[in-house]
Structure 1
């Protein structure tokens, strides 16, 4: 992984709003700069492949002309950033923010691999979007699963809106409830009897989603989120459900046992992200082995034509910027 630094291709580090002292998002900043950020960076390719159908839906909803300036919130390892940049002409630009330096380092590395043509349209900033000093540059603010973790979401979206031009737009993807996401719940349910219950804080976030309780399913209630965005000053707020089969693993064409090969391709993603990963962290070596064995059995029942695809559902929230006074 390359160091995270400023260089000639307009990628920079800024720590605006990321001082942990008295920062309401301190817990999230610490979390995503620790093991979670390292894990998501390590398994970036698997996550991006799984989310590809949802990423494509978001890009289509953006209706890009090619000349936009875009703020991306919670850019992670840069998958959406690079996909957006590829849709832009030379004058277009993606300004991508995240609080996780390990994930941003991976984004920088990937952009260098993509070459100078894409790199000149990209700028990565280590910053907390709730407190970052946005300039009103953007035609579009977007995010793929990066806005559900603010301690004060109303303050965050009021601040984010400052980054939009008067006629700018918002398009963000956020997960539907856990029950509507078999790619997580079906696998987690298959092992829950083997392990202690989900930690109380994570269980609460999954069971009673609310924008005021940071977590992956915090924005799963469209009425609450649309009300929140309206209060933040956005207009024409709407929510559209997006559901796709997510590709979790695929056997190589030459595999002697396509079922086993597909299972082994999917297993690293399953055990290292989401609530199963939380269980694995709390388990001893024997229990981890039991969980993996159960997951292998469950995944084997999901293989079809050498592939494992499970349902994923999210909300596409779109809105316009109210004209600034």
Structure 2
């Protein structure tokens, strides 16, 4: 018997303007949803933060379907901002993974309806174990909401889906509520950029937050430097040998007096009033150049260079003594920029 031919769908014609308008409508509807949920943040939110801050354990996030995806992201955000957290799938929890939840943990359960069977099935065990329960639902009268110690209301006026079927505004609101929790807890714990960097050692973010000037600068004999009575030619030889495109001009104790760069050399050559052969470096150097401390972050050096349109920096200690030098190429090699 011949197989039935696959039905051919009619071609869909949609004007670009209509597509753009549909996209803008989603932002408008979801923006209104976020404003409505944000306006409800109050005592319940503060109590939820209090439960987490008082708990000796972690935050266990759980949810089914799209709520599960949001819960997983909230767990990741909490963990990276100073609040230990992880995600447990409610279906797997009923088959052994509930053993990962200790009586020291707080449970954050997400369900837009508040009636997800897989989540509700966990409640008796969590209650017996004594776990504080924070619920995040779009129905304050639901089973999950009423059984929770704290309920965070993420009810939205409307979904962005025109069929009112696909979770859109509701998942965005829940995600934003999770971010609000993470940031409030971060501030309450006094979580710093250095703390954040320690949990993000890989990639550019960790490098930007962990790498200090001392990690990338040239030090010791690698730092180009000459005395102020040096000739221009002597300074150029030092610049050529050290290959940083600049040289520090220092006194007998190594304190910074000035800087001479490739750019200064071009300007000097263009100045008809300067005798190139007889010039002393003190006559053509830049006095009071931009500098940076050795304990600063490397990213601060990049910011200084960009702001002042320069390609190199001298590193000085608290007394003004030159202890290092770096240029934009050092930052590029360290992947700070």
Pairwise same-fold verdict (TM > 0.5): no
Q: When the two structures are superposed, what TM-score results if normalisation uses the length of structure 1?
A: 0.28
Q: Which has the higher contact order (CA 8 A, sep 6+)?
A: 1
Q: When the two structures are superposed, what TM-score results if normalisation uses the length of structure 2?
A: 0.27
Q: 1 or 2, which has the higher strand percentage?
A: 1
